[in-house]
Structure 1
């Protein structure tokens, strides 16, 4: 049986559950993620859509599309960020902080050319995105 991890927005009105293991985990340094997260870097966990369920507060979720590639979702009561749908990639990004008990084990930094906070952790630093996700696949030095 697959492991399940629960998470919620800042006020707890929206609760989610993820099942199994994330497809990928890492850090995004792009300006959009930094602005959205209000931080110098955003920690992500990517999941197959069927592995992410809203178990409470579905009617409390609002969304915004800055681009057709992403639908960002948050709680309308507290503004707490929940997840971002990436339909073109067939993935859902559940922010690592949203599921605090999930064993976050990042494997990559993406959009590192936009970094405002350099992190020396030995992980690959992608200039933009992996080739299979439409990026150059190029890496940068730490």
Structure 2
């Protein structure tokens, strides 16, 4: 249930068959440079927004959502109709990564680059660059050069 005093944002897959809302504030926003995210997104970097699972509500097309998990750390979700990627559940972290590109009205503001040691696209934006993940997300917390 969405609490009325929380901001909510709408999102959807590429064709619109799957629609959802996220409510409240994301626990983090940034860019992931890992090989898995690059391969899954077919791009050099993936913009993420992290939410508590309770903040993500499927409002249409739940039956159209497919799941693939290469590892137990990530359950990647997509629309079975168009193939559009929607989000990734991270059970070990207790978070859901809703891809920033599929939330149409979220004022996206990245604060960190994760898994930057694997990057294929150097980004000089002044944001912290993490070797893997911040300590609070189970990583080493080690920074790397921009």
TM bin (shorter chain): over 0.9
Q: Out of 36, 47, 50, which is 1:43 matched to?
A: 47
Aligned to 1:53: 57
Structure 1 runs (4+) deviating above 6 angstroms are: none
Query: Secondary structure of the equivalent of 2:10?
Result: strand
Deviations along 1:101-136, whole A, 9 cap, x unmatched? Answer: 101010000000000000000000000111222211
What is the total number of aligned residue pairs between the two structures?
Answer: 142
Q: Compute the TM-score of the two structures, normalised by the length of structure 1.
A: 0.98
TM-score of the pair, normalised by structure 2: 0.96
**Do residues 125 (structure 1) and 108 (structure 2) align?**
no
In structure 1, the gaps of 5 or more residues are: none
Task: Select the residue among 100, 108, 116 that pairs with 1:104.
Answer: 108
RMSD value, Cα: 0.6
Show structure 2 runs of 5+ residues with no match.
none
Match among 3, 8, 19 for residue 7 of structure 2: 3
